[in-house]
Amino acid sequence: MSSTAHAHRTHPTSDEGKIPGQSTARTTRGSFAHLCSLASGWVGSKWAFSAAVLIVVVWAATGPIFHYSNTWQLVINTGTTIVTFLMVFLIQNTQNRDAQAINLKLNELIRSIGSASNQMMDIETLSDDELNVLHQRYEKIRAECVRRKKGPKQ
């Protein structure tokens, strides 16, 4: 993109440049995504950590009452297993959403810079071998930059 074309970029005043599916009023996502968003906010809080510590302390304090029985041990083991199992899906959903948002933001940055290589916009769809080839290419570029920074050998 020439500097003249770049200088004439304006913010869209009509429907041009709007995100597809985006209206002026924010819409709610699916129920699962909404639940995950609320749960991840709460689970990552100091209050959730405090509740977990309290549960462990109460469980440990009841050990002598239940004579450290197998059932007493089974309660904490079952509880932690169920919570861990559910957290895997919650964390994965949150990470997928965050990764998608970051990729979209990076794609917009690449798109907005006229001299950027647009081939990078969909690299998340490449195979591991193709990603390794790109990695090697950029490692060579980095090594060349380091070499230039050091200057000619004397």
Rounded Cα gap, residues 99 and 106, in angstroms: 10
Cα 57-58-60 angle, rounded to 5 deg: 65
pLDDT for 117? 75
Residue 2 has pLDDT above 50, yes or no: no
Of all residues in the chain, the percent with pLDDT exceeding 70 is 79
Cβ–Cβ < 8 Å for 12, 18: yes
pLDDT for 12? 46
Q: Record the tokens describing residue 79, joined without a space.
A: 């509880």
Interval 69-115: pLDDT, tens? 999 999 999 999 999 999 999 999 889 888 888 988 888 888 888 78
Average pLDDT over residues 47-76: 96
Residues shown for the chain: 154
The reply to whether the predicted model has a pTM over 0.75 is no
H-assigned helices in the chain: 3-7, 31-43, 46-61, 70-112, 128-150
pLDDT for 37? 84
Q: 74-81: list long-range contacts, CB under 8 Å, 24+ apart.
A: 79/55
Residue 148, helix vs strand vs coil: helix
- Sequence-distant (6+) residues with CB within 8 A of 40 are 90, 91, 94
Rounded Cα gap, residues 82 and 152, in angstroms: 62
Interval 20-47: pLDDT, tens? 554 444 455 688 888 888 888 899 899 9
Domain-wise residue ranges, the chain: 29-116, 117-154
